[in-house]
Amino acid sequence: MIIQDKRLMVIGGAGFIGSHIVDQVLAEQPREIIIYDNFTRGTRANIEQAAQDPRVRVVDASITDTLTLRREMEGVDGVFHLAALWLGECVDNPRAALDVNIVGTFNVIEAARDLNVQRIVYSSSASVYGDAISVPMTEEHPFNNRTMYGATKIAGEQMFRAMYEQTKLPYVGYRYMNVYGPRMDYKGTYVSVIMRVLDRIADGQPPIIFGDGSQSYDFIYVHDVARANILGLQAEVSDECFNIGTGVRTTINELVDMLLELTGSALKPEYRPQEKMFVQHRIGSTEKAERLLGFKATTPLIDGLREVIRWRISQGLKVRLLE
């Protein structure tokens, strides 16, 4: 689908990933971008600059509000669907996870079908895989999920697939690996290890590593993720789900060492027993996304972390950055 002169809706567009999609889509010369967000997780600050563009319109509403959703989707050509309760929220309130992540996603699918939306990019998650049985994980990796959040994402993928079978509603689903970058949450209860480490460094306290630090993940920079979303809307392939990652394995020990190096800190990590059973290893194969979408991540982790630190400094964090 050609984006130029199209009307697009970014559901969850004030969030971490969604706001970066909005920024990059604006460069593709759309006619209008509707940021549809209830600001449960997204913030006005994330879209402050984009909202000044006359092509951008902000709608404060939830995907559980079917009347508003259908009214605003009328005449929309393409949709990026990112709205969801996150991992911790799904643990704390599984009923809300059902209502938002599953019923809300069906509301999006149903409205898109009825209103003849041309294409949807659905943000799923690598959580559908659970802990890795094999590495790197291809898209054929079994659903080994053990979380409510992952269960809702599996349900979303299956609803899109079923609707495609019935009506040929074009879509692609994206299974994100560990996304990081400017605008990621650093104030909530469930913040990433990157944010926790930077806060500890700023306080002059040793970073805490749970377990032995050998846990390994695939960290992908948010600008690359936003570009993948644009490619997904432009692509011709449908009814497929893709890993969105780098394919590069990074241990927690390596990640913490990078952050200490970038900040010029002499602190040494403090190791503590693993408190919860989190996923221990998750690295995604990138072959399918490269072959069918033309997507390949280009931001090295060290460069992306440098941008995260620069952004946190702009938010008032008292650390230094070694250029």
Whose tokens are 């971008």? That residue is 33
8 Å CB contact between 75 and 7: yes
Q: What tokens appear for 15 in the block?
A: 């969030």
Q: What tokens appear for 211 in the block?
A: 């377990």
How far apart are alpha carbons 186 and 179 in whole angstroms?
14
Q: Write the CA distances from 185 to 51, 120, 125, 203, 262, integer angstroms.
A: 20, 26, 17, 18, 20
8 Å CB contact between 157 and 174: no
Picking from 41, 75, 275, the residue whose alpha carbon sits closest to that of residue 57 is: 75
Q: Is 120 helix (H, G, I), strand (E, B) or coil?
A: strand
The residues assigned a catalytic role are 149
Using only C-alpha atoms, the chain has a radius of gyration, in whole angstroms, of 19
